[in-house]
Chains A and B, each alone.
Chain A
Amino acid sequence: MQYEAGSYDVIVVGAGHAGCEAGLAAARLGANTLMITINLDMVAFMPCNPSVGGPAKGIVVREIDALGGEMAKNIDKTYIQMRMLNTGKGPAVRALRAQADKFAYQNEMKKTLEEEPNLTLLQGMVEQLIVEDDIVKGVITKTGATYRSKTVVITTGTYLRGEIILGELKYSSGPNNQQPSIKLSEHLEELGFELVRFKTGTPPRVNSNTIDYSKTEIQPGDEVPRAFSYETTKYITDQLPCWLTYTNEQTHQIIDANLHRSPMFSGMIKGTGPRYCPSIEDKVVRFNDKPRHQIFLEPEGRNTKEVYVQGLSTSLPEDVQQQIIKSVPGLENAQMMRAGYAIEYDAIVPTQLWPTLETKVVKNLYTAGQINGTSGYEEAAGQGLMAGINAGLNALDREQLVLSRSDAYIGVLIDDLITKGTNEPYRLLTSRAEYRLLLRHDNADLRLTEMGHQIGLILDNRYQAFVVKKEAIEAEKQRLQSIILKPNEEVQALIRSIGGSELKDGIRASDLLKRPEMNYALLEKLTKSEHDLDEETKEQVEIQMKYEGYIEKSLQQVERLKKMENKKIPENIDYDAINGLATEAKQKLKKIKPLSLAQASRISGVNPADISILLVYLEQGRIAKVANE
């Protein structure tokens, strides 16, 4: 029995990491938003590792924060350990990673959702979309409730036709034995979406009381207080450590002896798994010369004894998992509380999306997260934020927002997905970004706060603080550029003390800072700003001045590409009518429907000659139009 259950601006299906950001963003933009999830106890659940951030991903969390998203604030309130990674390297690759109290994380996020004025949170299973003339108009749940809306965002994670595989066992299920979503997947196919089958996996959990930590190495958090959000001022000081141990010959023998029972090798698993997240059996087979693999023991929270065994992701049978665990030093007597498993699920081919994350198949319908073929909470949240922003802006008849590859890792992620597609669950890596030096952890606010404020997710008081910081950075840079340091004894002594070569003449403070052995803190001893600058400002001044040459080079590249970004391709262009385009290029262009010449040039199979021809054709159209007028 169907019934009319209400009308909204935006409906978000799913309440995982993508769904939460989407729902909050739309609601905060002023759109009346409904979030529907299969199980309200699973809001912002972490089905895999209890951590947020890491290289590239941590920068995404910062970007989410700079645009007014929630993930950064939520983890800042609930971490059990925080570390800055890559501190010995350049500023472009530094990244924060937090170990989360996964239960606290969920509770905190649920509370935030519940308290959001424009947001309605609801338990239910969406089985169908209401689509009229290829435009989405709402959703229908299993119980027949019909909700109408202007736009819909689908963030179903690994629930779509999910199947758990554990040894010889295979059954229909969402993650962590949740109900899978089967009808919606079928419905998407009926609507004309092309789906692919992906696979991911998770390791077993063991009881902390049964671990002999004396046989492992401790991995503590940083002592310096750190946070993801630019707004966070309170830090959690009581941190929990992680522990490091290793597999050994015996572990590998157990795996070898049981490979015939592995669904990976028996052919039971058909979905494509990610290379960056192989199971332990995969690692042992592919790198059989390695005598050992790292295992990190990560607490899942403060009020639980469950410990996540990172490095042992597996779909081997339960009894084999038990044997494997007992072969690892420190885990000889460990009690396995949950077995690891692999999960297969449906994802849509992401080249069916526009850069706004709206689908090309159904208008006003957006998708975000694992359904788009990605992996990782941060990738999901980044997409969720953008899909929520655009679904909200669209519902409010406002212009939508697209981040470019030089704006943010989120821009890189979305452009990769929609332009190149992916044949495995997609994970962000720093090497995917061509402007890594511009997309840093430290400057996410400088890159994105302006946009966040413009769309209305960054409120005025935070924006004002940002403007003050930005001005302070510029003023201090100018000061250092104008100050000449004379080669007096004080200056020479300092330079000697850090092993630099002494000055022959006066030198600009900014040039002295560029020397490899120099840093801002040292320079401050010679010339101090009259203002009381905070650490973040000093860090910005140091990075921007020290790496000026390289940053400048990257900016020039961006500038050069901008002209191609600005050459727009009309949506209704008829590629068949363009003489001279290579056949492969035609096919790809028709499928991807790039919106700019630059995007077209990133499609594999479209070569520079095709771009040239396309450009001439576009220009011809423009001139013809002018002639007609």
Chain B
Amino acid sequence: MEFDTIAAISTPMGEGAIAIVRLSGDEAIQIADKLFKGIAGKRLIDVASHTIHYGHLLDPKSGEVVEEVMVSVMKGPKTFTKEDVVEINCHGGIVSVNRVLQQVLKYGARLAEPGEFTKRAFLNGRIDLSQAEAVMDLIRAKTDRAMNVALGQMEGRLSKLIRKLRQEILEVLAHVEVNIDYPEYDDVEEMTHKMLIEKAHFVREEIQKLLQTSQQGKILREGLSTVIVGRPNVGKSSLLNSLVHENKAIVTDIPGTTRDVIEEYVNVRGVPLRLLDTAGIRETEDIVERIGVERSRQVLKEADLILLVLNYADALTVEDENLFEVVRGMDVIVIVNKTDLPQQIDMERVKELTKEHKLVTTSLLEDRGVDELEEAIASLFFAGSIETGDMTYVSNNRHIAVLNQSLHSIEEAIEGVEMGTPIDIVQIDLTRTWELLGEIIGDSVHESLIDQLFSQFCLGK
């Protein structure tokens, strides 16, 4: 909706020592204040405009500290958007800034659409008229791109799951509605608090599952787990180095994993990759040889993406063929490397083995084919065709934000039932949950409730 409070990360992802989450709108200061714990109980709603404050960002529910932050409070109209603006400065890096963003989204802000801060600035007369067209182009262009990604996902498991969940809620809603609009209709029993709470718990669990396993969350936390496999000397290290050097590497130690496993993070065209067990690859070159086919199956099973490397200058071996066997059914990009050398490999056979997977030829030595490889990774990801080990895949921050909101409203529904609130009032929160879930798949038409009502029950005069 227009005119509400928006938020976004306003610094480039994964770069710099400090990242900024920016909020703009009537409720910007209140939202930040809810999450902020300053020194000696300082409240952001009380501070002077254009001042900066040190403190911690909390999760108000658990009281847990999310981040150490510096918060700038700027009251309109002397701001970029002419609205109240809050900038939360936190530690750089995908993980921390994203946690901050998710908190503000959970507590009332909406994720800004592309160009929306600029749009607000324009609408409030802050920027020049000549920029209006540019803003419109931006809105159209970015949403079209977002739409394409969304369309890709429509086919995906996420939309299927959400549809199923919505249908479950819809049946409950229709049941409650029929009790209200046709009180004398005796064919359906009255919806009870007990029936409702069972459903509500189920819905909450499903949303929680989606959130926990949401690919975006997982990727932002861990990256898309990627394994490079291949016989010795096909160029696995070169591939790794090439990916790492071409792109900005983010070297982090992940909490909960052992120190000795250092993992490489690379950001390939916006897709964060976690190159798994890279130390292993570096040391022994050959993961298959080192741990045997059975063990490697195990390791590979945890991967979201496999980069299978073959040697252009060498004939295919039984080992190569075995590798194809091992990665069957997984998301694979096949890379035939060393095209700078004379061909020995049987490309026809390679194509046969590759089947529907992507096939890229490279010469890492001469830096050829790397672009195609990156394109292949990005397109696999954005088309939503990567099947992760998790049950489903939620691809962007907007979806996570909406899922969090729907979780919030289903929790309110549950709270309502527990308080003994009449069902038709609890239904307000249930309906909200249903509508929010619909936003994810772009389907919030109210009419479908009425359709459900008349297809599920036999009503009439």
Chain A residues close to B by CB (< 8 Å) = 48-49, 55-56, 85-86, 88-93, 203, 275-279, 282-283, 286-287, 290, 293-294, 296, 310-311, 313, 420, 429-432, 434, 436-437, 516-517, 547, 550, 553-554, 560-561, 563-564, 567, 579-580, 597, 601, 604, 607-609, 611-613, 615-617, 619-620, 623-624, 627
Given A276-B454, A283-B460, A580-B140: A55 touches B180 (CB 8 Å cut-off)? yes
Q: Say whether B2 contacts A612, CB under 8 Å.
A: yes
Q: Which of B9-17, B89-97, B184-192 interfaces with chain A?
A: B184-192
Within the complex, the shortest CB–CB distance from B58 to chain A, in Å, comes to 24
Choose from B3, B135, B136, B460 the contact partner of A560 (Cβ within 8 Å).
Answer: B3
Q: Provide the bound-state CA to CA distance between A93 and B190, in Å.
A: 14
Q: Provide the bound-state CA to CA distance between A287 and B454, in Å.
A: 11
Q: Say whether B461 contacts A277, CB under 8 Å.
A: yes
Does B183 have its Cβ within 8 Å of any Cβ on chain A? yes
* Interface 0/1 of B119-134, CB less than 8 Å to A: 1001101000100110
Q: Say whether B460 contacts A432, CB under 8 Å.
A: no
Main secondary structure, interface of B, reads helix
Q: Give A86's nearest chain B residue, CB to CB.
A: B183
Q: Say whether B3 contacts A564, CB under 8 Å.
A: yes
Within the complex, the shortest CB–CB distance from B188 to chain A, in Å, comes to 11
Q: Give A292's nearest chain B residue, CB to CB.
A: B187
A-B contact pairs, 29 of them (CB 8 A): A49-B461, A85-B184, A88-B190, A89-B179, A89-B422, A89-B423, A89-B424, A92-B424, A276-B454, A287-B458, A294-B185, A296-B184, A311-B460, A313-B461, A420-B447, A429-B177, A430-B180, A431-B180, A432-B446, A437-B425, A547-B421, A553-B428, A612-B139, A613-B136, A615-B2, A616-B132, A617-B136, A619-B122, A619-B132
Q: Provide the bound-state CA to CA distance between A159 and B125, in Å.
A: 54
Q: Say whether B419 contacts A430, CB under 8 Å.
A: no
Q: Provide the bound-state CA to CA distance between A293 and B461, in Å.
A: 10
Within the complex, the shortest CB–CB distance from A223 to chain B, in Å, comes to 18
Q: Which residues of A contact B425 (CB under 8 A)?
A: 90, 92, 437, 547, 550
Q: Provide the bound-state CA to CA distance between A203 and B461, in Å.
A: 8
Known: A90-B421, A287-B458, A430-B181. 19 other contacts (CB 8 A): A89-B422, A93-B424, A276-B454, A276-B459, A283-B460, A290-B187, A290-B458, A311-B460, A436-B424, A437-B428, A516-B419, A554-B428, A560-B1, A579-B137, A608-B113, A612-B113, A613-B140, A616-B135, A619-B123
Q: Say whether A431 contacts B460, CB under 8 Å.
A: no
Choose from B140, B423, B458 the contact partner of A293 (Cβ within 8 Å).
Answer: B458
Q: Provide the bound-state CA to CA distance between A287 and B447, in Å.
A: 21
Q: Say whether B136 contacts A90, CB under 8 Å.
A: no
Within the complex, the shortest CB–CB distance from A268 to chain B, in Å, comes to 20
Q: Say whether B123 contacts A616, CB under 8 Å.
A: yes
Q: Say whether B177 contacts A430, CB under 8 Å.
A: yes
Q: Say whether A56 contacts B133, CB under 8 Å.
A: no
Q: Say whether A560 contacts B4, CB under 8 Å.
A: yes
Segment 410-461 of B: residues with Cβ below 8 Å from A: 419-425, 428, 442, 445-447, 449-450, 453-454, 458-461
Q: Which residues of A contact B422 (CB under 8 A)?
A: 89-91
Q: Provide the bound-state CA to CA distance between A433 and B129, in Å.
A: 39
Q: Which residues of B contact A604 (CB under 8 A)?
A: 445
Q: Give B135's nearest chain A residue, CB to CB.
A: A616
Does B148 have its Cβ within 8 Å of any Cβ on chain A? no
Q: Provide the bound-state CA to CA distance between A582 and B185, in Å.
A: 44
Does B379 have its Cβ within 8 Å of any Cβ on chain A? no
Choose from B180, B447, B453 the contact partner of A93 (Cβ within 8 Å).
Answer: B180
Choose from A91, A287, A294 the contact partner of B186 (Cβ within 8 Å).
Answer: A294
Does B143 have its Cβ within 8 Å of any Cβ on chain A? yes
Q: Which residues of B contact A90 (CB under 8 A)?
A: 421-425
Within the complex, the shortest CB–CB distance from B124 to chain A, in Å, comes to 9
Q: Which residues of B contact A91 (CB under 8 A)?
A: 422
Q: Which residues of A contact B424 (CB under 8 A)?
A: 86, 89-90, 92-93, 430, 436
Choose from A283, A431, A615 the contact partner of B177 (Cβ within 8 Å).
Answer: A431
Q: Say whether A580 contacts B139, CB under 8 Å.
A: yes
